[in-house]
Structure 1
Amino acid sequence: MRALLIVDMQRDFVETGGALSFSDSSAIVEPVLALTKEFIEHGDVVFTTQDWHDKSDEEFTLWPEHCLKESEGARLIRP
């Protein structure tokens, strides 16, 4: 059995215009989704992490506001 770990593949990080995206960040989406589907089809395990913040999070003193809980930007990109 194999395991795949996907770290913070969320709209604010990988979609064009996301709070912390960069010019080519969306290029990873299709390859990661294809790999995810392959793992699921073979009965392998897929783990994901998700960045998630309250509006008052101290992290926003260093970084722009992103991945606010229950926001569209915090949503995971899924197959």
Structure 2
Amino acid sequence: MVKRALLVIDLQEDFLPPNGSLAIAEGRSIVEPITNLIKQPQNWSLVVATQDWHPSNHTSFASQHNVEPFTELEFKHPESNQTKKQTVWPDHCVQDTFGSTIEKTFLTEFEKLSIPKAIVKKGYLQDREYYSCFQDSWGLHHTELENLLKENEIDEVVIVGLAYDYCVLNSAIDL
């Protein structure tokens, strides 16, 4: 029997219109279809929701560099001395703020699940960006997600969520 996981990427208030600081146009339109997916637990052996979880002084915030959001800057990793260009963003998903919360309708159904489930936080280290829910953009720090998939003997993963061009894309690549 195939063991399949559903991976729901960053379905959080700061990525959702109308008030999210980094809202994705039409982002709320995917909440109901994703919620309907988790209401079919017979299809899943594991459901994982990810949560961007930044400290207020996160390096990916434009406010920390006194530049406009969406500016590209060169970053130097403090441990490896590697450099790379990355975009800086409006402050978003700051720990313990409304913007960091997982969308309420989805979270209510998620909490009802009787199958294995987990919330994996990413972006909580101040000095590095995390587009992927598996690792930082440097490939040096890894979240617990890979081990969680292995522990649950997952064969297939279905990925849904926000933002397709960054977090969903990089998570799929790293998977």
Band of TM-score, shorter chain: 0.7 to 0.9
Q: CA RMSD in A?
A: 1.4
Q: Which has the higher contact order (CA 8 A, sep 6+)?
A: 1
Deviations 1:7-48 (A, max 9, x none): 111111124211111331110000001101212xx2631011
- Partner SS for 2:60: helix
**Which residue number corresponds to residue 27 of structure 2?**
25
2:17–2:26: 8 Å Cα contact kept in structure 1?
Answer: no
Range 15-24 or range 45-54, more displaced: 15-24
Separation (CA, whole Å) in 2 of partners of 1:16 and 1:9: 14
Query: What residue ranges of structure 2 are gaps of 5+ in the alignment?
Result: 63-87, 110-175
After the TM superposition, which residues 1-79 of structure 1 pair with which residues of structure 2 at under 5 Å, given as runs? 1-39=3-41, 42=42, 44-61=45-62, 62-77=88-103, 78=107, 79=109
- Partner SS for 1:49: strand
1:16–1:22: 8 Å Cα contact kept in structure 2?
Answer: no
Separation (CA, whole Å) in 2 of partners of 1:58 and 1:15: 24
Counterpart amino acid of 1:19? S
Q: Compute the TM-score of the two structures, normalised by the length of structure 2.
A: 0.41
2:16–2:27: 8 Å Cα contact kept in structure 1?
Answer: yes
- Partner SS for 2:7: strand
- Runs of 4+ aligned structure 1 residues displaced above 6 Å come to none
If each structure's strand is expressed as a fraction of its own residues, which one has the higher value?
A: 2
Separation (CA, whole Å) in 2 of partners of 1:38 and 1:15: 27
Counterpart amino acid of 2:46? V
Q: Compute the TM-score of the two structures, normalised by the length of structure 1.
A: 0.86
Separation (CA, whole Å) in 2 of partners of 1:46 and 1:14: 21
Counterpart amino acid of 1:20? L
Q: How many residues align?
A: 77
1:6–1:47: 8 Å Cα contact kept in structure 2?
Answer: yes
Separation (CA, whole Å) in 1 of partners of 2:20 and 2:53: 14
